[in-house]
Protein backbone atom coordinates (compact mmCIF):
# COMPACT_ATOMS: atom_id res chain seq x y z
CA UNK A 1 0.00 0.00 0.00
CA UNK A 2 1.24 3.53 -0.82
CA UNK A 3 1.23 6.00 2.05
CA UNK A 4 1.01 9.66 1.18
CA UNK A 5 1.27 12.46 3.74
CA UNK A 6 -0.33 15.85 3.17
CA UNK A 7 0.69 18.76 5.38
CA UNK A 8 -2.21 21.21 5.53
CA UNK A 9 -5.85 20.25 5.09
CA UNK A 10 -7.31 23.46 3.62
CA UNK A 11 -8.91 23.54 0.17
CA UNK A 12 -5.67 22.55 -1.58
CA UNK A 13 -4.81 19.72 0.83
CA UNK A 14 -8.32 18.24 0.63
CA UNK A 15 -8.44 18.51 -3.15
CA UNK A 16 -5.03 16.97 -3.75
CA UNK A 17 -6.03 14.11 -1.42
CA UNK A 18 -9.16 13.54 -3.54
CA UNK A 19 -7.12 13.60 -6.76
CA UNK A 20 -4.51 11.17 -5.45
CA UNK A 21 -7.25 8.74 -4.43
CA UNK A 22 -9.14 9.16 -7.72
CA UNK A 23 -6.03 8.46 -9.79
CA UNK A 24 -4.39 5.81 -7.58
CA UNK A 25 -3.50 2.58 -9.35
CA UNK A 26 -2.99 0.61 -6.13
CA UNK A 27 -4.22 0.72 -2.54
CA UNK A 28 -3.41 4.12 -1.08
CA UNK A 29 -3.73 5.62 2.35
CA UNK A 30 -3.58 9.38 2.85
CA UNK A 31 -2.72 11.02 6.15
CA UNK A 32 -3.61 14.73 6.35
CA UNK A 33 -2.04 16.87 9.08
CA UNK A 34 -4.46 19.71 9.82
CA UNK A 35 -5.12 21.23 13.25
CA UNK A 36 -8.56 22.58 12.25
CA UNK A 37 -11.53 20.42 13.16
CA UNK A 38 -12.77 20.24 9.58
CA UNK A 39 -10.85 19.52 6.39
CA UNK A 40 -11.19 21.68 3.24
CA UNK A 41 -11.79 24.96 5.06
CA UNK A 42 -8.45 26.68 5.55
CA UNK A 43 -8.46 30.47 5.42
CA UNK A 44 -10.87 30.91 2.49
CA UNK A 45 -13.70 28.50 3.24
CA UNK A 46 -13.87 28.49 7.05
CA UNK A 47 -16.14 31.54 7.12
CA UNK A 48 -19.64 30.76 8.37
CA UNK A 49 -21.01 34.07 7.11
CA UNK A 50 -23.37 33.54 4.16
CA UNK A 51 -22.61 37.13 3.08
CA UNK A 52 -19.11 36.05 2.08
CA UNK A 53 -19.46 34.97 -1.52
CA UNK A 54 -17.10 33.17 -3.86
CA UNK A 55 -15.43 35.73 -6.07
CA UNK A 56 -15.63 33.38 -9.06
CA UNK A 57 -18.91 32.38 -10.73
CA UNK A 58 -20.27 28.88 -9.99
CA UNK A 59 -19.36 27.85 -13.55
CA UNK A 60 -15.68 28.55 -12.80
CA UNK A 61 -15.35 26.78 -9.46
CA UNK A 62 -15.24 23.10 -10.41
CA UNK A 63 -12.57 21.24 -8.45
CA UNK A 64 -12.06 18.84 -11.38
CA UNK A 65 -10.42 20.21 -14.55
CA UNK A 66 -11.99 17.47 -16.69
CA UNK A 67 -15.53 18.20 -15.40
CA UNK A 68 -16.00 21.98 -15.67
CA UNK A 69 -19.66 21.85 -14.57
CA UNK A 70 -18.99 19.74 -11.46
CA UNK A 71 -19.37 22.44 -8.79
CA UNK A 72 -22.29 24.19 -10.47
CA UNK A 73 -24.18 20.89 -10.66
CA UNK A 74 -23.33 20.02 -7.03
CA UNK A 75 -24.49 23.45 -5.83
CA UNK A 76 -27.55 23.41 -8.14
CA UNK A 77 -26.62 26.99 -8.94
CA UNK A 78 -26.98 29.13 -12.02
CA UNK A 79 -23.69 29.21 -13.96
CA UNK A 80 -23.32 32.95 -13.31
CA UNK A 81 -24.22 32.77 -9.61
CA UNK A 82 -21.75 33.72 -6.87
CA UNK A 83 -22.35 31.05 -4.22
CA UNK A 84 -21.62 31.63 -0.48
CA UNK A 85 -18.08 30.46 0.29
CA UNK A 86 -19.28 28.42 3.26
CA UNK A 87 -20.72 25.88 0.80
CA UNK A 88 -17.44 25.32 -0.99
CA UNK A 89 -15.84 23.45 1.91
CA UNK A 90 -18.87 21.10 1.95
CA UNK A 91 -18.40 20.54 -1.75
CA UNK A 92 -14.73 19.62 -1.36
CA UNK A 93 -15.48 17.34 1.60
CA UNK A 94 -18.14 15.54 -0.46
CA UNK A 95 -15.63 15.12 -3.26
CA UNK A 96 -13.03 13.75 -0.85
CA UNK A 97 -15.39 11.24 0.73
CA UNK A 98 -16.63 10.09 -2.70
CA UNK A 99 -13.00 9.57 -3.76
CA UNK A 100 -12.13 7.44 -0.70
CA UNK A 101 -12.37 3.67 -1.15
CA UNK A 102 -13.16 3.08 2.53
CA UNK A 103 -13.04 4.83 5.89
CA UNK A 104 -9.30 4.07 6.29
CA UNK A 105 -8.34 5.77 3.00
CA UNK A 106 -8.07 9.20 4.63
CA UNK A 107 -6.75 9.77 8.14
CA UNK A 108 -7.07 13.27 9.57
CA UNK A 109 -4.36 13.97 12.16
CA UNK A 110 -5.59 17.04 14.03
CA UNK A 111 -2.16 18.45 14.69
CA UNK A 112 0.53 20.63 13.17
CA UNK A 113 3.40 19.00 11.31
CA UNK A 114 6.56 20.46 12.86
CA UNK A 115 9.19 18.85 10.66
CA UNK A 116 9.44 17.28 7.23
CA UNK A 117 12.59 15.33 6.39
CA UNK A 118 13.17 13.83 2.94
CA UNK A 119 14.92 10.43 3.29
CA UNK A 120 16.38 8.07 0.64
CA UNK A 121 13.12 6.16 0.15
CA UNK A 122 10.48 8.45 1.47
CA UNK A 123 9.72 11.32 3.78
CA UNK A 124 9.46 11.53 7.56
CA UNK A 125 6.95 13.91 9.12
CA UNK A 126 6.90 14.76 12.80
CA UNK A 127 3.76 16.13 14.39
CA UNK A 128 3.61 18.60 17.28
CA UNK A 129 2.49 15.81 19.66
CA UNK A 130 5.89 14.12 19.08
CA UNK A 131 4.58 11.33 16.82
CA UNK A 132 6.69 10.39 13.80
CA UNK A 133 5.26 9.23 10.47
CA UNK A 134 6.90 7.64 7.39
CA UNK A 135 5.49 8.24 3.90
CA UNK A 136 6.32 7.33 0.32
CA UNK A 137 5.56 10.91 -0.70
CA UNK A 138 4.48 14.11 0.98
CA UNK A 139 2.55 17.06 -0.41
CA UNK A 140 3.11 20.43 1.27
CA UNK A 141 -0.22 22.31 1.26
CA UNK A 142 0.45 24.80 4.02
CA UNK A 143 -1.38 27.66 2.29
CA UNK A 144 -1.36 31.26 3.39
CA UNK A 145 0.48 32.56 6.42
CA UNK A 146 -2.05 33.87 8.94
CA UNK A 147 -2.60 37.66 8.79
CA UNK A 148 -0.38 39.75 11.05
CA UNK A 149 0.21 43.44 11.72
CA UNK A 150 2.58 44.47 8.90
CA UNK A 151 6.19 44.96 9.93
CA UNK A 152 6.99 48.65 9.84
CA UNK A 153 3.85 49.77 11.69
CA UNK A 154 4.72 50.91 15.22
CA UNK A 155 2.13 49.60 17.66
CA UNK A 156 1.67 50.83 21.22
CA UNK A 157 1.17 47.54 23.15
CA UNK A 158 -1.76 49.21 24.96
CA UNK A 159 -3.53 49.42 21.58
CA UNK A 160 -3.30 45.66 20.95
CA UNK A 161 -6.64 44.82 22.65
CA UNK A 162 -8.31 47.04 20.02
CA UNK A 163 -6.63 45.31 17.08
CA UNK A 164 -7.88 42.08 15.48
CA UNK A 165 -5.71 40.08 13.12
CA UNK A 166 -8.67 37.86 12.22
CA UNK A 167 -10.55 39.72 9.46
CA UNK A 168 -13.37 37.19 9.64
CA UNK A 169 -14.15 37.89 13.31
CA UNK A 170 -13.63 41.66 13.56
CA UNK A 171 -16.96 42.81 14.84
CA UNK A 172 -17.25 40.66 17.94
CA UNK A 173 -15.94 43.29 20.32
CA UNK A 174 -17.04 46.35 18.34
CA UNK A 175 -19.68 48.44 20.15
CA UNK A 176 -23.03 48.70 18.32
CA UNK A 177 -22.91 51.60 15.86
CA UNK A 178 -19.14 51.61 16.20
CA UNK A 179 -16.49 52.81 13.77
CA UNK A 180 -14.12 50.18 12.40
CA UNK A 181 -10.80 50.88 10.71
CA UNK A 182 -9.66 48.17 8.30
CA UNK A 183 -6.02 47.98 7.20
CA UNK A 184 -6.22 46.89 3.59
CA UNK A 185 -8.77 47.31 0.79
CA UNK A 186 -8.70 43.94 -0.98
CA UNK A 187 -11.21 41.10 -0.97
CA UNK A 188 -10.50 40.22 2.66
CA UNK A 189 -11.17 43.81 3.73
CA UNK A 190 -14.42 43.66 1.75
CA UNK A 191 -15.43 40.53 3.73
CA UNK A 192 -14.95 42.39 7.01
CA UNK A 193 -16.90 45.45 5.79
CA UNK A 194 -19.75 43.30 4.42
CA UNK A 195 -20.25 41.48 7.70
CA UNK A 196 -20.34 44.68 9.74
CA UNK A 197 -22.18 47.17 7.53
CA UNK A 198 -24.93 44.74 6.55
CA UNK A 199 -25.76 43.78 10.13
CA UNK A 200 -25.30 47.08 11.96
CA UNK A 201 -26.81 49.95 10.02
CA UNK A 202 -25.32 52.54 12.38
CA UNK A 203 -21.77 51.20 12.02
CA UNK A 204 -19.21 52.81 9.74
CA UNK A 205 -15.87 51.75 8.26
CA UNK A 206 -12.72 53.38 7.01
CA UNK A 207 -10.45 51.20 4.86
CA UNK A 208 -6.87 52.40 4.71
CA UNK A 209 -4.38 50.86 2.31
CA UNK A 210 -1.23 52.09 0.58
CA UNK A 211 -3.02 52.61 -2.73
CA UNK A 212 -6.69 52.81 -1.73
CA UNK A 213 -7.63 50.53 -4.64
CA UNK A 214 -10.71 48.32 -4.36
CA UNK A 215 -11.12 45.14 -6.41
CA UNK A 216 -12.91 45.73 -9.72
CA UNK A 217 -16.40 44.30 -10.17
CA UNK A 218 -17.45 41.33 -12.25
CA UNK A 219 -19.74 42.10 -15.18
CA UNK A 220 -21.84 39.58 -17.17
CA UNK A 221 -19.48 37.16 -18.89
CA UNK A 222 -18.64 37.67 -22.56
CA UNK A 223 -17.07 35.34 -25.11
CA UNK A 224 -13.36 34.83 -24.36
CA UNK A 225 -10.76 36.31 -26.68
CA UNK A 226 -7.40 34.82 -27.74
CA UNK A 227 -4.45 35.59 -25.47
CA UNK A 228 -3.29 39.17 -26.03
CA UNK A 229 0.32 38.40 -25.13
CA UNK A 230 2.23 35.27 -25.99
CA UNK A 231 4.97 33.66 -23.96
CA UNK A 232 7.29 34.25 -26.95
CA UNK A 233 6.54 38.03 -26.90
CA UNK A 234 7.54 38.15 -23.27
CA UNK A 235 10.53 35.81 -23.58
CA UNK A 236 11.84 38.00 -26.40
CA UNK A 237 12.02 40.92 -23.97
CA UNK A 238 8.71 42.80 -24.39
CA UNK A 239 8.98 45.70 -21.93
CA UNK A 240 6.30 45.85 -19.23
CA UNK A 241 4.97 49.25 -20.33
CA UNK A 242 4.44 47.82 -23.83
CA UNK A 243 2.60 44.85 -22.31
CA UNK A 244 0.44 47.30 -20.35
CA UNK A 245 -0.37 49.21 -23.56
CA UNK A 246 -1.50 45.98 -25.22
CA UNK A 247 -3.92 45.30 -22.35
CA UNK A 248 -5.07 48.96 -22.20
CA UNK A 249 -5.82 48.88 -25.93
CA UNK A 250 -8.59 46.38 -25.10
CA UNK A 251 -10.45 49.37 -23.62
CA UNK A 252 -13.81 48.43 -22.10
CA UNK A 253 -12.93 44.80 -22.67
CA UNK A 254 -10.07 44.88 -20.18
CA UNK A 255 -11.62 41.95 -18.29
CA UNK A 256 -11.39 39.79 -21.41
CA UNK A 257 -7.82 40.96 -21.93
CA UNK A 258 -6.83 40.00 -18.37
CA UNK A 259 -8.72 36.70 -18.56
CA UNK A 260 -7.05 35.89 -21.89
CA UNK A 261 -3.73 35.67 -20.03
CA UNK A 262 -4.98 33.38 -17.30
CA UNK A 263 -4.07 30.00 -18.81
CA UNK A 264 -0.52 31.10 -19.57
CA UNK A 265 0.13 33.33 -16.55
CA UNK A 266 2.67 30.94 -14.94
CA UNK A 267 4.60 30.69 -18.23
CA UNK A 268 4.46 34.47 -18.78
CA UNK A 269 5.70 35.01 -15.22
CA UNK A 270 8.67 32.69 -15.74
CA UNK A 271 9.42 34.24 -19.14
CA UNK A 272 9.63 37.70 -17.52
CA UNK A 273 12.93 36.82 -15.83
CA UNK A 274 14.16 38.24 -12.52
CA UNK A 275 14.44 41.95 -13.41
CA UNK A 276 11.02 42.39 -15.03
CA UNK A 277 9.40 40.23 -12.32
CA UNK A 278 10.78 42.61 -9.73
CA UNK A 279 9.51 45.64 -11.70
CA UNK A 280 6.10 44.00 -12.02
CA UNK A 281 5.96 43.25 -8.30
CA UNK A 282 6.92 46.81 -7.44
CA UNK A 283 4.75 48.76 -9.89
CA UNK A 284 1.99 46.57 -11.29
CA UNK A 285 1.16 43.78 -8.90
CA UNK A 286 -1.55 45.57 -6.96
CA UNK A 287 -3.08 46.84 -10.22
CA UNK A 288 -3.03 43.31 -11.58
CA UNK A 289 -4.61 41.92 -8.39
CA UNK A 290 -7.55 44.36 -8.33
CA UNK A 291 -8.37 43.66 -11.96
CA UNK A 292 -7.78 39.93 -11.85
CA UNK A 293 -9.50 39.07 -8.49
CA UNK A 294 -12.89 40.78 -8.71
CA UNK A 295 -15.95 41.37 -6.54
CA UNK A 296 -19.29 39.70 -7.11
CA UNK A 297 -21.72 42.33 -8.52
CA UNK A 298 -24.04 42.23 -5.48
CA UNK A 299 -21.08 42.98 -3.22
CA UNK A 300 -19.81 45.75 -5.50
CA UNK A 301 -23.32 47.31 -5.40
CA UNK A 302 -23.35 47.27 -1.59
CA UNK A 303 -19.87 48.82 -1.46
CA UNK A 304 -20.90 51.59 -3.88
CA UNK A 305 -24.04 52.30 -1.84
CA UNK A 306 -22.19 52.50 1.48
CA UNK A 307 -19.59 54.81 -0.02
CA UNK A 308 -22.25 57.15 -1.38
CA UNK A 309 -24.02 57.13 2.03
CA UNK A 310 -20.75 58.00 3.75
CA UNK A 311 -20.72 54.79 5.81
CA UNK A 312 -17.63 53.50 4.04
CA UNK A 313 -14.56 55.58 3.32
CA UNK A 314 -11.62 54.20 1.35
CA UNK A 315 -8.33 56.09 1.63
CA UNK A 316 -4.80 55.67 0.30
CA UNK A 317 -2.23 56.22 3.03
CA UNK A 318 0.78 54.34 4.43
CA UNK A 319 -0.09 53.68 8.09
CA UNK A 320 2.86 54.37 10.33
CA UNK A 321 1.57 53.80 13.87
CA UNK A 322 -1.31 52.42 15.91
CA UNK A 323 -1.89 54.02 19.32
CA UNK A 324 -4.60 54.40 21.96
CA UNK A 325 -6.72 57.52 22.23
CA UNK A 326 -9.25 57.94 25.06
CA UNK A 327 -10.58 54.39 24.99
CA UNK A 328 -10.39 54.22 21.20
CA UNK A 329 -7.62 53.52 18.75
CA UNK A 330 -5.66 56.02 16.66
CA UNK A 331 -4.08 55.26 13.29
CA UNK A 332 -1.54 57.73 12.02
CA UNK A 333 -0.06 57.76 8.52
CA UNK A 334 3.49 58.64 7.55
CA UNK A 335 2.15 61.97 6.17
CA UNK A 336 0.52 62.68 9.56
CA UNK A 337 -3.12 61.98 8.75
CA UNK A 338 -5.08 60.63 11.71
CA UNK A 339 -8.05 58.26 11.96
CA UNK A 340 -9.77 57.44 15.26
CA UNK A 341 -11.79 54.22 15.41
CA UNK A 342 -13.30 51.87 17.99
CA UNK A 343 -11.42 48.87 16.64
CA UNK A 344 -8.90 48.01 13.93
CA UNK A 345 -8.86 44.88 11.83
CA UNK A 346 -5.83 43.80 9.85
CA UNK A 347 -6.76 42.63 6.34
CA UNK A 348 -3.57 43.40 4.50
CA UNK A 349 -3.48 40.08 2.67
CA UNK A 350 -1.11 37.17 2.88
CA UNK A 351 2.59 37.44 3.51
CA UNK A 352 4.41 36.00 0.50
CA UNK A 353 7.57 34.99 2.30
CA UNK A 354 7.78 31.62 4.06
CA UNK A 355 10.58 32.74 6.36
CA UNK A 356 8.10 33.17 9.23
CA UNK A 357 6.44 29.79 8.56
CA UNK A 358 7.45 27.50 11.45
CA UNK A 359 7.59 24.49 9.11
CA UNK A 360 8.93 25.84 5.80
CA UNK A 361 11.09 28.67 7.20
CA UNK A 362 13.68 26.36 8.84
CA UNK A 363 13.73 24.09 5.75
CA UNK A 364 14.67 27.11 3.62
CA UNK A 365 17.22 28.27 6.16
CA UNK A 366 19.03 24.89 6.19
CA UNK A 367 18.91 24.66 2.36
CA UNK A 368 16.59 21.65 2.13
CA UNK A 369 14.24 23.98 0.24
CA UNK A 370 14.93 27.30 -1.48
CA UNK A 371 12.84 30.47 -1.49
CA UNK A 372 10.96 31.08 -4.71
CA UNK A 373 11.67 34.03 -7.04
CA UNK A 374 11.36 37.40 -5.22
CA UNK A 375 11.51 35.47 -1.94
CA UNK A 376 7.87 34.38 -2.41
CA UNK A 377 7.03 30.88 -1.24
CA UNK A 378 9.38 28.04 -2.13
CA UNK A 379 11.10 27.33 -5.43
CA UNK A 380 9.43 24.50 -7.36
CA UNK A 381 10.04 22.72 -10.65
CA UNK A 382 7.00 23.99 -12.63
CA UNK A 383 6.33 20.75 -14.54
CA UNK A 384 6.24 18.52 -11.43
CA UNK A 385 5.60 20.93 -8.52
CA UNK A 386 8.58 19.33 -6.76
CA UNK A 387 10.38 21.76 -4.48
CA UNK A 388 14.04 22.35 -5.22
CA UNK A 389 16.84 22.48 -2.69
CA UNK A 390 19.32 25.35 -2.49
CA UNK A 391 21.37 23.79 -5.34
CA UNK A 392 18.31 23.65 -7.60
CA UNK A 393 17.78 19.88 -7.34
CA UNK A 394 14.12 18.81 -7.06
CA UNK A 395 13.13 16.45 -4.24
CA UNK A 396 11.60 13.37 -5.89
CA UNK A 397 9.27 12.49 -3.00
CA UNK A 398 7.92 15.97 -2.24
CA UNK A 399 5.35 18.16 -3.99
CA UNK A 400 4.04 21.64 -3.17
CA UNK A 401 0.57 22.96 -4.00
CA UNK A 402 -1.15 26.32 -3.80
CA UNK A 403 0.05 29.62 -2.32
CA UNK A 404 3.63 28.47 -1.44
CA UNK A 405 4.30 28.03 -5.19
CA UNK A 406 3.44 31.64 -6.05
CA UNK A 407 7.04 32.80 -6.48
CA UNK A 408 7.52 30.29 -9.31
CA UNK A 409 4.01 30.32 -10.80
CA UNK A 410 2.68 33.74 -9.67
CA UNK A 411 -1.07 32.93 -9.95
CA UNK A 412 -1.36 30.03 -7.58
CA UNK A 413 -4.00 30.85 -5.02
CA UNK A 414 -7.38 30.53 -6.76
CA UNK A 415 -9.19 27.24 -7.30
CA UNK A 416 -8.88 27.26 -11.11
CA UNK A 417 -5.09 27.07 -10.66
CA UNK A 418 -5.15 24.81 -7.60
CA UNK A 419 -7.39 22.24 -9.33
CA UNK A 420 -4.83 21.91 -12.16
CA UNK A 421 -2.03 21.49 -9.64
CA UNK A 422 -3.99 18.86 -7.67
CA UNK A 423 -4.74 16.87 -10.83
CA UNK A 424 -1.06 17.01 -11.85
CA UNK A 425 0.16 15.81 -8.46
CA UNK A 426 -2.46 13.02 -8.49
CA UNK A 427 -1.08 11.88 -11.83
CA UNK A 428 2.59 12.08 -10.74
CA UNK A 429 1.98 10.23 -7.48
CA UNK A 430 0.34 7.36 -9.37
CA UNK A 431 3.45 6.57 -11.43
C1 LIG B 1 -10.80 35.09 1.96
C2 LIG B 1 -10.48 34.34 0.72
C3 LIG B 1 -11.46 34.15 -0.26
C4 LIG B 1 -11.18 33.44 -1.41
N5 LIG B 1 -12.16 33.27 -2.35
C6 LIG B 1 -11.88 32.55 -3.46
C7 LIG B 1 -12.89 32.32 -4.46
O8 LIG B 1 -14.01 32.79 -4.34
N9 LIG B 1 -12.56 31.60 -5.56
C10 LIG B 1 -11.30 31.09 -5.72
O11 LIG B 1 -11.05 30.43 -6.73
N12 LIG B 1 -10.35 31.29 -4.80
C13 LIG B 1 -10.62 32.01 -3.69
N14 LIG B 1 -9.64 32.21 -2.76
C15 LIG B 1 -8.32 31.66 -3.03
C16 LIG B 1 -8.16 30.15 -2.72
O17 LIG B 1 -9.26 29.36 -2.88
C18 LIG B 1 -7.46 29.98 -1.42
O19 LIG B 1 -6.25 30.62 -1.53
C20 LIG B 1 -7.32 28.52 -1.01
O21 LIG B 1 -8.01 28.47 0.17
C22 LIG B 1 -5.92 28.03 -0.80
O23 LIG B 1 -6.04 26.85 -0.08
P24 LIG B 1 -4.84 26.24 0.72
O25 LIG B 1 -5.35 24.96 1.27
O26 LIG B 1 -3.64 26.21 -0.13
O27 LIG B 1 -4.49 27.29 1.86
P28 LIG B 1 -5.18 27.66 3.24
O29 LIG B 1 -6.62 27.94 3.03
O30 LIG B 1 -4.36 28.75 3.83
O31 LIG B 1 -5.08 26.34 4.12
C32 LIG B 1 -3.84 25.86 4.56
C33 LIG B 1 -4.09 24.94 5.73
O34 LIG B 1 -2.85 24.38 6.11
C35 LIG B 1 -2.82 24.26 7.52
N36 LIG B 1 -1.41 24.24 7.93
C37 LIG B 1 -0.49 25.21 7.76
N38 LIG B 1 0.69 24.81 8.26
C39 LIG B 1 0.51 23.57 8.75
C40 LIG B 1 1.36 22.63 9.41
N41 LIG B 1 2.65 22.90 9.65
N42 LIG B 1 0.84 21.45 9.79
C43 LIG B 1 -0.47 21.17 9.55
N44 LIG B 1 -1.32 22.01 8.94
C45 LIG B 1 -0.83 23.20 8.55
C46 LIG B 1 -3.61 25.45 8.04
O47 LIG B 1 -4.16 25.16 9.30
C48 LIG B 1 -4.67 25.63 6.96
O49 LIG B 1 -5.89 25.02 7.30
C50 LIG B 1 -9.90 32.92 -1.61
C51 LIG B 1 -8.91 33.11 -0.62
C52 LIG B 1 -9.19 33.79 0.52
C53 LIG B 1 -8.12 33.96 1.58
- Residues of the chain below pLDDT 70: 170-172, 431
Number of domains in the chain: 3
CA-to-CA separations, 143 to 244, 373, 423, in angstroms, rounded: 30, 17, 17
Residue 236 lies in a domain: yes
Provide the pLDDT for residue 431.
63
Q: Which ligand 1 atom sits nearest the alpha carbon of residue 112?
A: 42
Instruction: Give residue 333's domain range.
Output: 154-216+294-346
Do residues 13 and 131 share a domain?
A: yes
Provide the pLDDT for residue 197.
96
CATH of the domain at 320: 3.50.50.60
Q: Which residues have C-beta atoms less than 6 Å from ligand 1?
A: 7-13, 33-36, 42-44, 54-56, 112-113, 141-144, 187-188, 191, 359, 402-403, 413-415
Provide the pLDDT for residue 222.
87
| Burial class of 136 by CB neighbour count within 10 A (0 to 12, 13 to 18, 19+) | middle
Provide the pLDDT for residue 172.
65
Provide the pLDDT for residue 247.
84
Cα 12 to averaged position of ligand 1 atoms, centre (Å):
7
**CA–CA separation, 421 vs 266, rounded Å?**
12
Do residues 72 and 94 share a domain?
A: yes
Q: Closest Cα partner for 144 from 41, 259, 30, 64?
A: 41
Cα 248 to averaged position of ligand 1 atoms, centre (Å):
32
Q: Which ligand 1 atom sits nearest the alpha carbon of residue 33?
A: 43
Do residues 70 and 105 share a domain?
A: yes
Mean pLDDT of the chain: 94
Provide the pLDDT for residue 41.
97
Assess contact for 85 and 47: CB atoms under 8 A. Answer: yes
Q: What is the pLDDT of residues 306-360, one digit of tens each?
A: 999 999 999 999 999 999 999 999 999 999 999 999 999 999 987 888 888 999 9
Calculated CA dihedral for residues 331, 165, 45, 174, nearest 10 degrees: -70
> Among the three residues 292, 307, 335, which one is the final residue of a domain in this structure?
292
Cα 77 to averaged position of ligand 1 atoms, centre (Å):
23
The two most distant CA atoms of the chain are separated, in Å, by 66
Cα 330 to averaged position of ligand 1 atoms, centre (Å):
31
Provide the pLDDT for residue 170.
57
Provide the pLDDT for residue 171.
58
Do residues 207 and 116 share a domain?
A: no
Cα 146 to averaged position of ligand 1 atoms, centre (Å):
10
Do residues 319 and 184 share a domain?
A: yes
**CA–CA separation, 171 vs 164, rounded Å?**
9
Q: Which ligand 1 atom sits nearest the alpha carbon of residue 13?
A: 25
**CA–CA separation, 274 vs 157, rounded Å?**
39
**What does 259-304 look like in DSSP terms, one character per residue?**
HHTTTTHHHHHHHHHHHHHHHIIIIIHHHHHHHHS-B-HHHHHHHH
| Burial class of 298 by CB neighbour count within 10 A (0 to 12, 13 to 18, 19+) | middle
Q: Which ligand 1 atom sits nearest the alpha carbon of residue 404?
A: 26
Of 35, 38, 42, 91, the one to substitute when testing ligand 1's pocket (max ligand atoms within 8 A of C-beta) is 42
Amino acid sequence: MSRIGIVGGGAAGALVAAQILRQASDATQIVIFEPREQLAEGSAYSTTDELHLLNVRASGMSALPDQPDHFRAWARAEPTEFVPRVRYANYLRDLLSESAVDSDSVVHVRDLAVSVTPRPNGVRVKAADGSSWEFDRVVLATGHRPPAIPAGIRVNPKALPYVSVDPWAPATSLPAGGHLAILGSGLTAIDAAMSLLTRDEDASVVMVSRNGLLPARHVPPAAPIPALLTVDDVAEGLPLDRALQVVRAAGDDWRLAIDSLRATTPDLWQALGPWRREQFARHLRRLWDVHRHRMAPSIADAIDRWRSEGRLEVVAAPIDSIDVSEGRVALRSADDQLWIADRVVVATGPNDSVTTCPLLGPLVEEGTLASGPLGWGVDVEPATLRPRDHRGNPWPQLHVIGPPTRGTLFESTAMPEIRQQAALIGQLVRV
